[in-house]
Amino acid sequence: MRNNMDLTHIADNKANVLLSLNALMITFLVPYILSNFDFVLENGLGISLLLLLVTSLITVYISVLVLIPRGITHTKTKYKAPIKGSPFFFGSFQNLTKEEYLEYIDESIVNKVHISNFVKEDLYYVGMVLARKMKLIRLAFRIFLAGFLIAVISATAVMIFYTPST
C-alpha cells in the first residue's frame, strides 16, 4: 500500500511539473503572439506557434485530469449491515460523526476476514487510481513531446525555407 501511495505521489509530482511548465509556456506564448502578430505572420511562424500553444493546452488539460481528486466507487463486497465498506477508506465514513465512525470501525473489524478483505479492496482501488494516473501522465508526456518537437521542427523548416513575400 505504501509503495502505491508513493507512486501516486510521484505521478502527481510529474503532473505538477507538466502543468507548471506548460502554464508558463502559455503565459509567455500568448502575449508574445498577440504583441508580435505581424512579425509572426510575416515570417510564417503562425502554424508552429499555434501548434505549440494547442499542445500546451492539451497537456495542461490532461495534467489537471491527473490531479483532480477522483471519487472511487469503493467496496463491491457485500457485508452485513451496518458495514458498508472499508473503515480504512475515507469515502466509507466521510459523512459520519466521530462517535458514528468509532462504532462503525468497532463493528467492521470484529471479523478478521473482513479486515483482510478491506485491506485487499483498498489496495486494489488505490492501484486502479494509480494505473489511471500513470496512463494519463504517459499520454500527457507523449503529446507534449510530439507537439513540442513538431513545432520546433516546423519553425526551423520555416526559418530555413520560407522567404517572405515583399
What is the value of pTM for the model shown?
Answer: 0.77
Q: What does the pLDDT read at residue 83?
A: 65
Residues of the chain with confidence (pLDDT) below 50: none
Q: What does the pLDDT read at residue 57?
A: 96
Q: What does the pLDDT read at residue 142?
A: 97
Q: What does the pLDDT read at residue 136?
A: 96
Q: What does the pLDDT read at residue 100?
A: 87
Q: What does the pLDDT read at residue 111?
A: 79
Evaluate whether 52 touches 159 at the Cβ level (below 8 Å). no
Residue length, the chain?
Answer: 166
Joined together, the cell numbers standing for residue 106 give 468497532
Q: Tell me how far apart the alpha carbons of residues 51 and 45 are, in angstroms, rounded to a whole number.
A: 10
Per-position DSSP letters for the chain, written without gaps between them: -HHHHHHHHHHHHHHHHHHHHHHHHHHHHHHHHHHTHHHHHHTT-HHHHHHHHHHHHHHHHHHHHHHS--------S---TT--S-TTSHHHHTTS-HHHHHHHHHHHSSSHHHHHHHHHHHHHHHHHHHHHHHHHHHHHHHHHHHHHHHHHHHHHHHHHH-----
Q: What does the pLDDT read at residue 164?
A: 67
Evaluate whether 59 touches 26 at the Cβ level (below 8 Å). no
Q: What does the pLDDT read at residue 89?
A: 77
Q: What does the pLDDT read at residue 152?
A: 95
Q: What does the pLDDT read at residue 5?
A: 85
